[in-house]
Structure formats: structure tokens, C-alpha cells
Amino acid sequence: MASIREVAKLAQVAPSTVSRALNGSGYVAEETKEKIREAVDELDYVPNQWIRNLYQQKTGIIGVMTPEIIHPYFSSLWSFLELELHKYGYNMMLCNTSGKKEIEREYLDTLERNLFDGMIIGAAFLPDKYYKKIQKPIISLDRIISGVPLVTSDHVRGGDIAARKLLEKGCKRLLNLSDPNEKMVASSRSGESIIRVMEENGAEVVTESFLWIDVIHYSRSIRRAREILKAHPNLDGIVANDLCASAFLKIAGEMGISVPRDLKIIAYDGTYITDFNFKTIAAIQQDVALIAKEAVRVLIKLINRQPLENDEIYVPVHYKGGDTV
């Protein structure tokens, strides 16, 4: 394996110059950088980050806890998180809990054993007490946990936009989906906002349960969508996450319900899934790139023991038009 001195010799510069160029820790002329890049490629040089981290008592790894890998919103977010973490010299380890509390606890134990430098929580199912005792850098992307910084979308605004768009299109009887097991999550604020706006304007809101297990598995979303549309044939508006919105669009077609003439659908997340159907689904789009950027910025501050300006950050959402409203 090539050393940094061999790279410096081939590039005809000092080893300290190679170090500055690779670490971005000081000025190096662009022409010199190009010589160093060519030398690195030719020698197949890999900086020994592991040794550097060991010396600094770091692992260089950030754990990202996910409730499910296949969910389109989370899979999109993790990609952006990995890119952001690499900018700070960190590798990402994806920790899939499948919504199981015992697995979630094992990953938290891994954090406490110093095998991660910090952790980003995509969703949490354990009681708050397990998180409150953790002294390591940790942030949440949805679950509201006292003492843990939160980086999430402005779901109050998202619900408001969705409700007003449906009212504008003449909706009078809207479906609101709720998971009774998820009380302290920021994303539930969108449903609360939808109910408030619709009822203030004299519209009716029908609330039906849609459990997490139904949300992450499309076949279950299909079955639940069919049950709901059969039970409430006079619904004229639906707001649901991308997979569920796709399921409602499919079942509406099977039942002869015209979208958007008789039923208007707005997806909530706005991932690539909304473009995969025979109709493009209108959506409240979360800015996953900005969420990832803010989340990593906050976590790095915690790792470096720097003060936070705010321990709750709400990233703006926007409406993406489609063929379903």
C-alpha cells in the first residue's frame, strides 16, 4: 500500500502539502491539487482514516436508525444523509430496526459502547426513558423526545397547504389517516393542521386508522385503501403518504371512482413514487436534501460540543402539482 510520502514524491511536493490537499485543511494551488490527484490515482493511495480516528478517539461512523429500508421517503433521505456525512469525513451505518423495540435498543447500546460517534434517529418506538439517559450526540428526524434536538419538515404548514388546496378544489368530505400508536411524532402535526383548516371552513373530516405496518407494505396499503373506500363511498378528498396515496389511486380506478373529478388525492412526501402511476400524484413535498444537510450540521455541532442556535429546526415544504386534484 502506498504511503503519503510516495504520493508527495510522485507529485513533487512536500508530504504536508499532500495532507493539506486531502484534508482540505489549508490552501493548496489548483495546479498542485491536480498533480496530487494524479499521483493518488496512479498509486491507488487510500488515506488511513482509521488510524487518524483511533488517535482522535473517534470511530468516524454515524449510525442512522431507520424503521424500514424499503420505504421511499426514508430511502431517499438516507442517500442524502450519506452524502452530507461524507462531506464531514464520516461514514454512515444504516441501522434497520424493522420497527422492533429490541433491535432499536441493541443499536442504542452500540452507540453507548462508543462504536458510533453519534446517531440520527429516523423513527423511534422505545419509550423516551431509553433516549433521555443517553449522553452521546443524537438527533431525531420525527419523534419528539425531550432533550433531543429535532430536525424535521414544517408539517403544520404542510397540512395547511394540503387542506387549503383541497378546499379550493371544492372538497367537502376529507379522509384523514392516523396511527393511534404514534402520538409524539412531528409528522402527525400535518393531520392536526388538516383537520383544523377543514373544520374551520365547514368541511367534514373522516379519520381512519392506518397503522405503520400498513404504510410500509404496499400490499397492506392496497387492502386498507379498499376497505376505507368501501366504507366511505362519498369521500371527495384524501391526503396520505406517497405509498398510501398510490394505493388509493389504484383502488379508486378499480372501483370506477374518477380521479380527480369525484375524488382528489394529495400525497404527502413527494418522492419519486408520485411519478410512477398512470396519473402524476399531486404532493406536499418534503425537502429531503435540506433535511439531511440540517440534520448533519446539527449532529456535527453536538459531536464537536458546540452550542446549538435552536434545538428544533423546521424545514419548509412546498406543493408539487399533479393530475389528481
CA 325/CA 322 separation, integer angstroms: 7
Q: What is the pLDDT of residues 96-107, one digit of tens each?
A: 988 888 999 999
SS (H, E, C) the chain: CCCHHHHHHHHCCCHHHHHHHHHCCCCCCHHHHHHHHHHHHHHCCCCCHHHHHHHCCCCCEEEEEECCCCCHHHHHHHHHHHHHHHHCCCEEEEEECCCCHHHHHHHHHHHHCCCCCEEEECCCCCCHHHHHCCCCCEEECCECCCCCCEEEECHHHHHHHHHHHHHHCCCCEEEEEECCCCCCECCHHHHHHHHHHHHHCCCEEEEEECCHHHHHCHHHHHHHHHHHHHHCCCCCEEEEEHHHHHHHHHHHHHCCCCCCCCCEEEEEECCHHHHCCCCCCEEEEECHHHHHHHHHHHHHHHHCCCCCCCCEEEECEEEECCCCC
Residue ranges of the chain that CATH labels 3.40.50.2300: 55-152+289-315, 155-287
55-152+289-315 CATH, one of 1.10.3210.10, 3.40.50.2300, 3.40.630.40, 3.40.50.10800: 3.40.50.2300
Residue type at position 84: E
| Per-residue pLDDT, 55 | 47
On whether the 155-287 domain is CATH 3.40.50.2300, my answer is yes
Say yes or no to pLDDT of 41 above 90.
no
Q: What is the pLDDT of residues 245-295, one digit of tens each?
A: 999 999 999 999 999 999 999 999 999 999 988 899 999 999 999 999 999
Whether this prediction's pTM lies above 0.95 is answered by no
Name the band, by pLDDT with cuts 50, 70 and 90, for residue 174. very high
Residues 6+ positions from 168 with CB-CB distance below 8 Å:
none
Average pLDDT over residues 94-121: 90
Average pLDDT over residues 127-147: 90
Q: What is the pLDDT of residues 302-321, one digit of tens each?
A: 998 999 999 999 999 999 99
What rounded mean pLDDT belongs to the chain? 90
CA 25/CA 290 separation, integer angstroms: 25
Degrees, nearest 5: CA angle 320-322-325: 105
